[in-house]
Structures are given as structure tokens and as C-alpha cells.
Amino acid sequence: MPFTDDTIMTEAWSEVRGLVPVSLCDWPGRVTAVLFVGGCPWRCPTCHNAELAWYPERLPALHRQAVLAELTRRRQWLDGVVVSGGEPTAWPGLELLVREIVALGLPVKLDTNASAPQVVERLVTEELVAAVAVDVKGPWRSYPRLTGGAVDPATAEANFRRILALAQKNPQRFLFRCTKVPALSPQDLLEVRRYVPETFPFYWQEYIPPRPIAHGEETTHAFANSQT
């Protein structure tokens, strides 16, 4: 059976596992909706959306048409849509998903752990995302511990430097964040802060202990900054 545009777009939305219709704190200064894309290649022990990140199939996938109808209905009150996760850049359907949101007239902010700078480069270069929030987990040497062994220090630093180079060409679109997890010392926090030039917005996020992962039960939704 040949693929139609509709089946391709439905596939692009098939990893969307959560929607927060209104958030006041996921894009500074804007009223947004937040979409959650399931899956993440990292295994941070402090992940507060671990079920979404590691077992997305346990969460019900949202129906594309229902989400589009909801966004369309709220469009006049929304300043944009945040695409979060999990790690959205790990999802092959991300670009199509973002294109469809932008086509509604809603700007998109992307939340990322910086693991796929090539994806961020494409979305920024194609003018598909109006803002990118980049998480810095800690000092480069701590990445193996902070990501559950998923990332070595050299890769973490190289990915960040590539994203920072993109940010310096598009300074109005980038902000950086770091969550103050218990494993980070005050010296670690100072080191992280020095990674990001003072010219960029930088936000410290308070640590929220991870929620227990349900075994054999469905969780109904993921969590936005506004819900933690």
C-alpha cells in the first residue's frame, strides 16, 4: 500500500505521548502548550520523566488530529508550543512534527540535552524553531555518571561546543539550563556556569526527585516544568 502524506504525518506524531494544554513556565515570558515526545538514549539516574524517556510504549500515544484540533482551538491564547521529552531530537519524525505545528502559526521551542547537534542545526537553519533550551548536565568529566554511562566526557564537550557555535550565530534563539542534582558540588555548578557565555540566558533548575516508574501500569501523562 503506498504511503500517503497523511500516513507519513500520522507516523511523525506517533511518539507524542503527552500534552500540557497551558504552561506559564516552559518558555520564559510566553504562554505555551507543551508536547512530550517519548524516548531518550540517555539513562540519567535523576530523570524526572523516566517512564516517558525509557518506556514510552507504556504511555498512550496521542492522536495527531486531536492534538492539532486542540492547538488550533487554543491558538489565539497561545504564544507558542514547547516540544519536550524524553529527548525529542532522538525521534526521526521530529522535523515533520515541528513543521506541522509551525504551519498552524505557532512558534516552536525545542528542549534538548544537546545529544544531537546536527538535528538542532537543521531545525534552526530551516527556521523551524524559534527557541532552543539546551540542558547542561554538569562538568564534562561527570557526564558518564550523570547520564547513566550513556555519554563520555569528550562527546559531551564536542556536542556542546557545536551547539554553542550555532547559538553564537543565532543568539536570540538559545537559552541554557542546568538542574542542580545532588551529585553536583558548588564547584561543579560554577564550572558549568563558565561553559555558557554571560550573553546567553541561563537558568538553574531545582532538583525534583524522580517519580517511581510504575510496573505493569499505564501512566497517563508526562510532566512539564509547570507540573514539577
Interface residues with ligand SF4 (CB under 6 A)?
Answer: 40, 42-44, 47, 49, 53, 85-87, 113
Cell 530551516, residue? 126
Nearer to ligand SF4 (CB atom), residue 12 or residue 222 = 222
Nearer to ligand SF4 (CB atom), residue 44 or residue 224 = 44
Nearer to ligand SF4 (CB atom), residue 9 or residue 87 = 87
Which amino acid is located at 101 in the chain? I
Is residue 36 a contact partner of residue 85, using CB atoms and an 8 Å limit? yes
Cβ at position 198, least distance to ligand SF4 in Å: 25
Nearer to ligand SF4 (CB atom), residue 89 or residue 106 = 89
Cβ at position 54, least distance to ligand SF4 in Å: 7
| DSSP letter, residue 221 | -
DSSP string, 10-71: HHHTTTEEEEEEEESSSSTT--EEEEEE---S---TT-TTHHHHH-GGGSPPPPHHHHHHHH
The pairing of strands 202-206 and 174-180 is parallel
Cβ at position 8, least distance to ligand SF4 in Å: 26
Cβ at position 137, least distance to ligand SF4 in Å: 7
